[in-house]
Amino acid sequence: MKQYVIDELRSWDYGKVKDYLGKHLKTAGLEGVYWLEIPEELLTDQQNDHGPCKPFHFGIELEEDRLSCGLLVRASGNIRCHCIAYANREQRNWLVETLDAMMEQLGIIV
């Protein structure tokens, strides 16, 4: 699985990130796993045309010393569908910029 990873989080940074994710993202039903919804304007034509699978999101996993995000664009409610694919360049860049901005907002140097 391709991932974007921020590691070596300090214990107090973990708490800040956990609070932020809990307030701003949907939980995935597993401890430490969250869904980051991808804006519609970043979806591919195939994803945009596939309404039953919307919304699309990235899965984020927070552990005590790291934050990892898979680069697979996931569909809501479906595990397998032709619209599920690895992020294109625009989606990947948005993900990295979004997570980096979150860390900056929280005062975490990475």
CA 55 to chain centre: 13
What is the structure's pLDDT at 110?
66
Kindly report, residue by residue over 15-65, the tens digit of the pLDDT: 999 999 999 999 988 999 999 999 999 999 999 988 888 999 999 999 999
Q: Is the pLDDT of residue 77 over 80?
A: no
What is the structure's pLDDT at 83?
85
Q: Is the pLDDT of residue 70 over 80?
A: yes
- Enumerate long-range contacts of 23-29, CB under 8 Å, 24 or more apart: 25/60, 26/57, 28/59
Q: Which of 34, 4, 9 is nearest to 96 (CA)?
A: 4
What is the structure's pLDDT at 79?
74
Q: Whole-prediction pTM value? A: 0.91
What is the structure's pLDDT at 43?
96
The answer to whether 4 touches 69, Cβ cutoff 8 Å, is yes
Kindly report, residue by residue over 36-45, the tens digit of the pLDDT: 999 999 999 9
